Amino acid sequence: MKNIIVILAITVYFTLSQAFAEVGKLGEPNNVSRVIAVEMTFNRFNPSEINVKRGETIKFILKNISKKKHEFMIDTMDNLKKHAEMMRKYPDMEHTESNMVTVASGKTGELIWQFTEVGTIDFACPMHGHSKGMRGKIIVTDN
């Protein structure tokens, strides 16, 4: 019974997380227009505010300089909160979502993302207890 609930919860979660339209989409490595380095400290992202132009494909280099594992997830605040709730219930869940990357202590990860809509997009580390401090904004503007 417990397994069925887990599968149901994950199915609902993935269905909800398909709505990427307003935050952009996974970028193509050949189209990267800019590289932005982001440090993951013990409880912060640095920088926590990032400016991009609509249409840009950014390669984010995530450098985890802390002693614990972190994640970098780009999404709406609603979806980030839903994901954080899933992580609280199932802290060891494996991730395959395209809009996030998991980075072990001392390691570097990368995520290529294309910003297709003007607006403010959120990012956060959805790991349990992290997202209060580990969050930031990506501001997408027209030229």
Tokens representing residue 9 in the block: 């919860």
Give me the amino acid identity at 8: L
Integer Rg of the chain from CA: 15
Residues in the chain: 143
Is there binding between residue 111 and Cu ion (CB under 5 A)? Answer: no
What character string, x for contact with Cu ion (CB under 5 A) and - otherwise, covers 11-50?
A: ----------------------------------------
Shortest distance in whole angstroms from residue 29 CB to Cu ion: 26
Segment contacting Cu ion (CB under 5 A): 25-33, 47-55, 78-86, 127-135?
127-135
Nearest CA-CA partner of 131 in 48, 43, 41: 43
Which residues form the interface with Cu ion (CB under 5 A)? 70, 125, 127, 130, 134
